[in-house]
């Protein structure tokens, strides 16, 4: 039904476009001088009929689900739902919806069957009502647009105004997205902080995200202190930078200063390939190759106590992922240093390495620092590598051989397979998400500012 509605909008808008354009062409063929080209008259019909219909359908679909659910929930017999909590009620509603879609498990109660039938009736009523109303809106739009075709009618200005409005709307979506992120994170995190005091979260040194299944369960309360989690994140980030910064910087210097143009032409795309590999592939690489290699080399050969999912594996693979990131930023920064500085240094008799290390590198430092900050933000927010290769248990340690967990790992494990938003366990993920967003946003803002300042310096 929804598909047909969209098809209807598409078809009738096209009909309106053609009708209006032809009408305008006839006017022109009759010898009158039009203010706007016929195609704009057509566009006017498109905007007057298709746009309101589209907005209407989207709004309808957005609110239909919750409205129907509310009606069905209200229709449930009072004796069946008396004294039930929100969680149990949503379970019943899920059962109703499954029964309504034909997935029947076991023997649903009679009132569930009734509610499911009611649910289906409401949905089909809603679908037909939407279809009829859309038809009405489209017909009205076409009629109004067709009536307004006249030689003096300023169709072009109207169409351009609509276009501008649409373009402004598209640009503002970015703001909406940010608002949506902040609102959802803050809203759910606030619910979390209502259950767990914010000081416990910020300064607690134990992270055991459990919830009591029975009210009297011993040690079922769990602990929600994020310090071990963020410490683990920082350990892995540090290892990643330890790999990525020297390798990235040195390869950028080499490609920029020493390599032949041919080598540059070959090596740069190879580095880009490294950047284009999906992170889930790096995660698999970490557990398939790097972790076993570290275990057999460090554990068996050197006799180090290496944990199976050591921070080293996740960190070093993340470092490999960040190499192209650092090297492209360093490359840009080195290229941006004015030629005169390089020439001046060489003319004074400095060798190439002295020029690079004592003149170009210091001049490029701000750009490189900006790139490194962005890489830190990437490493903190990186999810798949650590989900696959790092640990789940939060321990307060900075030993890279141990298994540590990260903010993103906790977010993913807390939310996989669990949807009820009313316990601290799932809500904790949003609190962690909020902290993650704040930290990475701060890093990004600072980094972008540093990079931009530096560009202005030499422009």
Residues 356-415 that bind other proteins (CB under 8 A): 356-357, 374, 377-378, 380-384, 387-388, 408, 411-412, 415
Three-state SS string over 253-281 comes to HHHHHHCCHHHHHHHHHHHHHHHHCCHHH
Q: Does 14 bind other proteins (CB under 8 A)?
A: no
Strand, coil or helix: what is 76? coil
Smallest distance from other proteins to CB 297, Å? 14
When the beta carbons of 303 and 417 are compared against other proteins, the nearer one is: 417
User: Counting contacts by CB under 8 A, is residue 81 touching other proteins?
Assistant: no
Residues 101-160, interacting with other proteins (CB under 8 A): 156, 159-160
Decide whether 139 or 181 has the Cβ nearer to other proteins.
Answer: 181
Supply the minimum distance, in Å, between the C-beta of residue 249 and other proteins.
Answer: 8
Q: Residue 223 belongs to what H/E stretch? A: strand 223-224
CA 309, chain centre distance (Å): 27
Please provide residue 288's backbone torsions phi and psi, each rounded to the nearest 5 degrees. -85, -40
Using the minimum distance from each CB to other proteins, give the nearer residue, 151 or 184. Answer: 184
Considering only residues 318 to 337 of the shown chain, the ones binding other proteins according to CB under 8 A are 320, 323-324, 327
What kind and span of H or E run contains 208? strand 207-208
Q: Give the Cα separation of 406 and 283 in Å (integer).
A: 14
Site string for other proteins, 232-271 (x = CB under 8 A): --------------xxxxxx-xxx-xxx-------x--xx
Binds other proteins (CB under 8 A): choice among 45, 100, 314, 429: 429
Instruction: Report the site for other proteins in 198-237 (rule: CB under 8 A).
Output: none
> Which range binds other proteins by CB under 8 A, 81-89, 109-117, 302-310, 350-358?
350-358
Burial tier of 329 (Cβ tally within 10 Å: 0-12, 13-18, 19+):
buried
Contacting residue, 18, 55, 62, 398, with other proteins by CB under 8 A: 62
Residues 385, 403: Cα–Cα separation, whole Å:
14
Residue 163 and residue 49 in contact, taking contact as beta carbons nearer than 8 Å: no
178 in contact with other proteins (CB under 8 A): yes
Determine which residue in the list 24, 53, 134, 185 makes contact with other proteins, applying CB under 8 A.
185
> Pick from 298, 440, 446, 455: which binds other proteins (CB under 8 A)?
440
Chosen residue from 7, 163, 194, 393 binding other proteins by CB under 8 A: 163
H-helix or E-strand spanning residue 174: helix 155-195
> How many chain residues touch other proteins (CB under 8 A)?
95
Q: Is the dihedral of CA 80, 82, 87, 89 positive or negative?
A: positive
CA distance 204 to 231: 12
**Least distance between other proteins and beta carbon 258 (Å):** 5
Computed on alpha carbons and rounded to an integer, the radius of gyration of the chain in Å comes to: 31
Residue with tokens 């489209």: 138
């Amino acid at each position: 039904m929804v598909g047909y509605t969209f098809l209807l909008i598409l078809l009738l808008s096209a009909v309106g476009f053609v009708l209006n354009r032809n009408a305008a062409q006839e006017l022109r063929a009759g010898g009158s001088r039009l203010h706007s080209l016929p195609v704009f008259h057509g566009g006017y019909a498109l905007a007057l009929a298709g746009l309101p219909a589209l907005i209407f359908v989207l709004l309808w679909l957005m609110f239909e689900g919750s409205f129907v659910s509310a009606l069905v929930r209200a229709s449930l017999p009072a004796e069946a739902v008396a004294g039930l909590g929100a969680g149990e009620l949503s379970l019943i509603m899920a059962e109703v919806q499954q029964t309504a879609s034909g997935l029947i498990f076991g023997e649903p109660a009679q009132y569930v069957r009734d509610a499911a039938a009611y649910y289906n009736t409401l949905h089909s009523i809603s679908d037909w009502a939407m279809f009829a109303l859309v038809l009405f809106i489209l017909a009205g739009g076409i009629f109004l647009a067709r009536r307004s075709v006249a030689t003096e009618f300023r169709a072009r200005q109207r169409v351009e105004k609509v276009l501008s409005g649409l373009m402004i709307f598209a640009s503002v979506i970015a703001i909406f997205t940010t608002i949506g992120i902040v609102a959802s994170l803050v809203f759910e995190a606030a619910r979390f902080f209502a259950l767990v005091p914010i000081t416990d979260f910020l300064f607690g040194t134990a992270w055991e995200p459990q919830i009591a299944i029975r009210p009297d369960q011993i040690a079922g309360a769990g602990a929600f202190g994020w310090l071990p989690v963020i410490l683990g994140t920082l350990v892995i980030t540090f290892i990643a930078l330890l790999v990525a910064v020297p390798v990235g910087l040195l390869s950028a210097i080499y490609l920029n200063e020493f390599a032949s143009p041919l080598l540059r032409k070959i090596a740069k795309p190879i580095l880009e390939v490294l950047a284009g590999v999906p992170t889930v592939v790096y995660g698999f690489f970490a557990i398939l190759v790097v972790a076993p290699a570290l275990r057999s080399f460090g554990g068996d050969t050197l006799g180090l106590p290496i944990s199976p999912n050591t921070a080293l594996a996740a960190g070093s693979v993340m470092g490999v992922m960040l190499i192209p990131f650092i090297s492209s930023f360093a490359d840009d920064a080195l290229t941006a240093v004015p030629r005169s500085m390089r020439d001046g240094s060489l003319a004074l008799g400095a060798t190439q390495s002295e020029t690079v290390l004592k003149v170009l590198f210091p001049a490029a430092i701000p750009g490189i620092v900006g790139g490194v900050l962005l890489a830190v933000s990437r490493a903190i927010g990186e999810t798949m590598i650590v989900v696959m290769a790092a640990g789940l248990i939060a321990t307060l340690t900075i030993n890279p051989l141990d298994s540590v967990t990260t903010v993103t790992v906790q977010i993913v494990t807390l939310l996989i397979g669990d949807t009820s938003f009313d316990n601290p366990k799932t809500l904790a993920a949003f609190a962690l998400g909020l902290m993650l967003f704040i930290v990475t946003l701060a890093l990004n803002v600072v980094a972008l500012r540093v990079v931009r300042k530096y560009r202005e310096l030499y422009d």
